[in-house]
Amino acid sequence: MAATKPTTVSKKLLIDPKSDRILFAEAGKDFVDFLFYIMSLPVGTVVRLLGKQRTVGCLGNIYESIENLNDYYYMKSAATKVILLKPMSKYTNLYWCKNHQNYNGGTAYVANHPTAACPSCGHYFMKSNDVLFVNPTNNGVPDSGEEAFIKRASTFMILDDLVVRPMYTNSIITLLDKFNIKDVNDLEEKTIGVGVNEAVELLRASMQSKTVLTDVFLGGKKKSSEV
């Protein structure tokens, strides 16, 4: 019998107990894949059209994090970044030239706009049946056993407002300075598992709050309006 895949993803939280705030989470590809998967939903198009600054909650931060991550070192491919930043609609219409169909190994001309004309014969294209676009993941959901969006060996810091950055020592020092943390011994570490329930709450909070990790994993002790 095949082993059952784990239903939770582990990540480490660094907590400032004095302010009841999560400074950041340390996580690998599985958790970051989940965050980036949110942007492969139609909401990614909304973020792009409205602009990052006008987006409610932290979705704009996830979008900007994807933009800023180096394609070569962190993203599975440059094409992966395009899929996340400009996701296709699940269903799309394709138009084809009735005179040039690929029945016998020849060239087939296809377009995604009804006003397109065949470059060979000049006829306007005819509409085909609706086409279902399938992401390169199982049923559109990242599989923990595969590379979905992020390369396997990468480790990231996820800030309270869902900004995603590569895990560098300098980044940690800068963050501690920002929150005026003088002694790291005053901080607490906590390893948690993120399952389906937590994932749903993260998705909900990402649309409403600027302190997503604190709200979800510390019981909402910090108000969403605080930065």
Q: Give the chain's largest Cα–Cα span.
A: 74
- Which residues does 8 contact at the CB level (< 8 Å), separation at least 6? 193, 194, 195
Sequence-ordered strand ranges (E) for the chain: 9-16, 21-27, 91-92, 95-96, 110-111, 126-127, 131-132, 156-159, 164-166, 188-194
- pLDDT of amino acid 100: 57
Q: In the chain, which residues have pLDDT < 50?
A: 1-6, 103, 137-147, 222-227
In a domain, 224, yes or no: no
In a domain, 110, yes or no: yes
pTM metric for this prediction:
0.65
- pLDDT of amino acid 141: 43
- pLDDT of amino acid 79: 77
In a domain, 223, yes or no: no
In a domain, 153, yes or no: yes
Residues 75 and 51 in one domain: yes
Residues 146 and 206 in one domain: yes
Total structural domains within the chain: 2
The span from the CA of 14 to the CA of 5, in Å, is: 27
In a domain, 77, yes or no: yes
Q: Write down which residue in 132, 158, 188 finishes a domain.
A: 132
In a domain, 2, yes or no: no
- pLDDT of amino acid 127: 61
Residues 153 and 187 in one domain: yes
- Which residues does 9 contact at the CB level (< 8 Å), separation at least 6? 27, 30, 31, 34, 144, 193, 194
Q: What is the end-to-end Cα distance of the chain in Å, rounded?
A: 49
Quick check: 161 and 35 in contact, CB under 8 A? no
In a domain, 28, yes or no: yes
- pLDDT of amino acid 2: 42
In a domain, 225, yes or no: no
- pLDDT of amino acid 60: 87
Residues 147 and 50 in one domain: yes
Residues 109 and 125 in one domain: yes
Residues 61 and 140 in one domain: yes
The span from the CA of 104 to the CA of 205, in Å, is: 53
pLDDT tens, 86-113? 776 555 667 777 775 654 555 677 777 7
CA distances from 129 to 93, 95, 96 (A): 7, 9, 10
Residues 204 and 172 in one domain: yes
